[in-house]
A = this chain, B = another copy of it.
């Protein structure tokens, strides 16, 4: 038996017991004639002690220990003379009589502790060592906990966990599909699913009523920002439901997770239309931990000598509470911030409503005190506040102001990671116009149902049609989204038509779903949560990478095992494939 207890388990009650522990050597300290060893496993750290008077053989063994050696020790639990209240095992230590080195260790390339000295790349290469650090492992333990809480919640609500295939049909539209050549079917390919969308809808046609799965999905695309080629979804679908049923069920799931993991009740989740979210926050995933909502001052700020405003389609102000003392330097930096290429504003206007009641603005050459006061009043500013103003084409300016608002929230400490503000965003547009292809795309996906009251607009004003689609947003992060689905073949055909599919293309791509709908499809709706994102939010992390055991880097590479990699010519032959040699670009 390798151990009688774990390294996190022994307490003052265990005194005088003889125990066997196994674990990793965290550190060895010598103090006078005594040697102390911190022995670590997943469950904690226990202090071992070897006395000056210990047998020479034992002392010699201890001498040989290095960091990260795996050892087994036998000894007696003693009460510590100087207790450590910070450690659960801090009341005791083990007076060891025997030590066996199970595995020696080379000196690890970085220290295995929370404030490690290892850089990102090194830690990725030695991921199995990075995972030894408490902080990293705890993220994965959190993930495991959230998964089982989710499953038990959905199971208790009668959802059937159903595995859908990973090797699915490749579609002509699947430009971002990973494909898998089939050895048994030469020249043919499977695709890996970007989501189990069609299968879960088929399960509804099959009468499964409630389906869920925590499932890997795949997308072969440039991994900007915080994406992974494989990612995990909590994927669900329900029959005989309306939008509100889905929202209530999954708000229930989210509240359950908040309660069980964080011990908090975030209250009922507000619901906000897409239009309101765009108007108030310039974003369909607003961070509602703080207000600083948009004030459209287009109408009151025009008509003076300031050409920039006069020529602008849209002028928007946010009121920053208590920021009237922002320095010139700070304001210059904010201007630089909005002028960054990825934000792209031309400039930034401020209005300071000073504590003494006076008003100071970067445009007071063009606007008198009354003008500026009327802006401040419009924005409900009080002395001590500051307005920040951007102008230009409406959509672009909204996006710019959204970034500025988030930056101000950050600067003022309004985006506390331990404060959770969930929000349902609803009534998304059904379609969005794509300038490149000069046609409409489905904003959610082609199976999303228009709102019944907007169906009349499908022919005349398609851009105005709202969808029964919804997103769950928490702290400005889109956690998940879904929609009520079309279950009527005729309406579905009309949608394909609007999206520019010929009937033949629609048939080639979605034929088997359309066929299924001929045999009695129930009304149904669903949702998918990004599980990586949800866990990273709960863990207070900015990146999903830290909640994935073996993540890939921005180039889709696993630097630990050096994949992807070339394959053998025989494998290519068996697959009837040949690699086309590329000219390296200069």
Residues of A within 8 A of B (CB): 1-3, 6, 22, 24, 40-43, 68-70, 102-106, 108, 126-129, 131-132, 137, 140-141, 143-144, 147-148, 151-152, 155, 160-170, 172, 174-175, 177-192, 198-199, 202-203, 205-209, 216, 218, 220, 222-223, 229-230, 232, 240-242, 487-488, 512, 516-523, 548-550, 552, 555-558, 560-568, 571, 573, 575-580, 582
Contact = CB atoms under 8 A, between A and B. Distances in A.
Contacts of A242: 1-2
Contacts of A144: 155, 160-162
A558 B190 CA distance: 10
Contacts of A163: 143, 216, 232, 548-549
A180 B207 CA distance: 34
A73 to B, nearest CB: 12
23 contacts: A22-B240, A22-B522, A41-B240, A70-B521, A102-B487, A102-B523, A103-B520, A128-B203, A128-B205, A144-B160, A144-B161, A148-B155, A163-B216, A165-B558, A167-B178, A167-B230, A170-B571, A179-B575, A180-B180, A182-B556, A184-B223, A199-B550, A577-B579
Contacts of A519: 68, 105-106, 108, 126, 128-129
Most chain B CB atoms below 10 A, which of A170, A567, A571 = A567
Most interface-central of A24, A189, A229 (chain B CB within 10 A)? A189
Contacts of A43: 209
Contacts of A580: 573, 576-578
Contacts of A516: 128
Contact of A140 (B162, B165, B180, B241): B162
Nearest to A516: B128
Given A132-B206, A167-B229, A488 B103 contact: yes
Contacts of A240: 2-3, 22, 41
A152 to B, nearest CB: 7
B103 A517 contact: yes
Contact of A220 (B148, B184, B189): B184
A518 B107 CA distance: 9
Contacts of A488: 103
Contact of A549 (B182, B203, B223, B582): B203
Contacts of A102: 487, 522-523
Contact of A208 (B3, B42, B550): B42
B164 A560 contact: no
A582 B577 contact: no
Nearest to A71: B520
A168 B563 contact: yes
A42 B42 CA distance: 44
Nearest to A489: B103
A105 B70 contact: no
A190 B563 CA distance: 6
Contacts of A577: 577-580
Contacts of A567: 170, 179, 189
Given A137-B207, A185-B564, A516-B128, A549 B103 contact: no
A562 B511 CA distance: 10
B187 A566 contact: yes
Nearest to A168: B563
A517 B105 CA distance: 8
B178 A180 contact: yes
A420 to B, nearest CB: 24
A229 B182 CA distance: 10
Given A105-B519, A128-B519, 11 more contacts: A105-B518, A137-B208, A163-B216, A166-B218, A167-B229, A179-B181, A180-B192, A182-B564, A187-B582, A202-B550, A573-B580
Contacts of A522: 22, 24, 70, 102-103
A207 B161 contact: no
A563 B511 CA distance: 13
